[in-house]
């Protein structure tokens, strides 16, 4: 069968991505899915899908690796997956059906906490994905996540040399979508479980380094005086970002244990501190290395039962 949906997964080893592959085999439309594995070393074929493609590429930079996966994909729809996000069995069927309406260029599922074990997991999850609650109604979106969303492949390929930057942490992709006039749909019936860091120091690193990289990517072409202004104002990040999360937080029936909201503001504060250094152009290389480890191996920094 010709693949209708390509799922791009960047990984360092087969062992790292195995839990996700096992979950994807449970898709009701697995026969319509093409798996595209981006990895520096050969990857064994996995039967059960419409196609299983290996795209050799270094994975020292996730954005570049994912861009290589998008370019290797053959389906008209591309989902950017992660080593620690697990689509529900009907994810592919619901997503493919939604794209039958030509007005939608992006479809975003509801994001759920896969390991709701404490305030660190919940605060990190809500900080990153709190806006896309399954209790919210189906409808158009103005903000989309770079990962755990499905795009028409041509939309991404049209970005050309800008594709790796668009798939990095930052605003490039959302800006490109807005400028092109493309529409995104929020589809809460389609769900993805996301595993989150539960260990204290990795949680600190995740929050801080993420902010540093977002600011670094956002300001890479800015003049020094604009960088300086944003670096000085980065302490306002919690005040700017919390209103964007608020509707999703209010809608959710699960919001974590007592203390989660306080930890969420600490998380946003750590992001702001990271953004200060990012706008100043400091420690970007170290931040990329640290975030690569966290993003590839988040299951290592979370409770093991989260993947079951």
pLDDT digits (tens, 9 = 90+) for 190-200: 999 999 999 99
Residue written as token pair 């969420």:
264
Q: Is residue 305 over pLDDT 50?
A: no
**pLDDT score recorded for residue 304:** 44
The pLDDT tens digits for 251-287 are 999 989 999 999 999 999 999 999 999 999 999 999 9
Q: What is the pTM of this model?
A: 0.94
Please tell me the CATH code under which domain 5-115+132-194 is placed.
3.90.550.10
Sorted by where each begins, the domain ranges of the chain are 5-115+132-194, 200-307
Q: Is residue 67 over pLDDT 50?
A: yes
- One DSSP character per residue, 17-81 reads HHHHHHHHTT-TTGGGEEEEEEESS-----SSSSEEEEEE---SSHHHHHHHHHHH--SSEEEE-
Residue 72's pLDDT band (cuts 50, 70, 90) = very high
**pLDDT score recorded for residue 303:** 66
């Amino acid at each position: 069968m010709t693949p209708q949906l390509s799922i791009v997964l960047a990984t360092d080893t087969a062992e790292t991505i195995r839990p996700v592959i096992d979950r994807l085999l449970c898709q009701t439309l697995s026969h319509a899915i093409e798996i595209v594995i981006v990895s520096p070393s050969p990857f064994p074929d996995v039967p059960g899908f419409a196609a299983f493609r290996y795209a050799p590429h270094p994975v020292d930079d996730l954005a570049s690796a994912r861009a290589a996966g998008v370019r290797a994909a053959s389906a008209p729809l591309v989902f950017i997956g992660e080593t620690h996000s697990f689509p529900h069995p009907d994810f592919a069927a619901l997503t493919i059906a939604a794209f039958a309406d030509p007005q939608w260029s992006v479809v975003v599922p509801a994001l759920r906490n896969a390991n709701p074990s404490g305030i660190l997991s919940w605060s990190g999850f809500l900080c990153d994905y709190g806006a896309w609650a399954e209790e919210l109604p189906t409808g158009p979106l103005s903000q989309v996540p770079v990962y755990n969303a499905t795009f028409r492949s041509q939309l991404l390929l049209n970005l050309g040399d800008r594709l790796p930057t668009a798939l990095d942490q930052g605003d490039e992709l959302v800006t490109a979508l807005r400028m092109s006039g493309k529409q995104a749909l929020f589809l809460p019936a389609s769900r993805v479980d996301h595993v989150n860091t539960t260990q204290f120091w990795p949680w600190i690193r995740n929050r801080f380094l993420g902010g540093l990289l977002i600011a670094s990517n956002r300001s890479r072409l800015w003049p020094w005086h604009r960088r300086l202004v944003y670096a000085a104002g980065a302490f306002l990040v919690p005040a700017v970002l919390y209103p964007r999360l608020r509707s999703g937080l209010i809608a959710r029936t699960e919001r974590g244990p007592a203390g989660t909201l306080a930890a969420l503001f600490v998380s946003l504060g750590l992001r702001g501190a990271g953004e200060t250094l990012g706008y100043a152009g400091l420690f970007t290389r170290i931040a990329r290395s640290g975030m690569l480890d966290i993003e590839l191996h988040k299951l290592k920094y979370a409770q093991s039962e989260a993947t079951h």
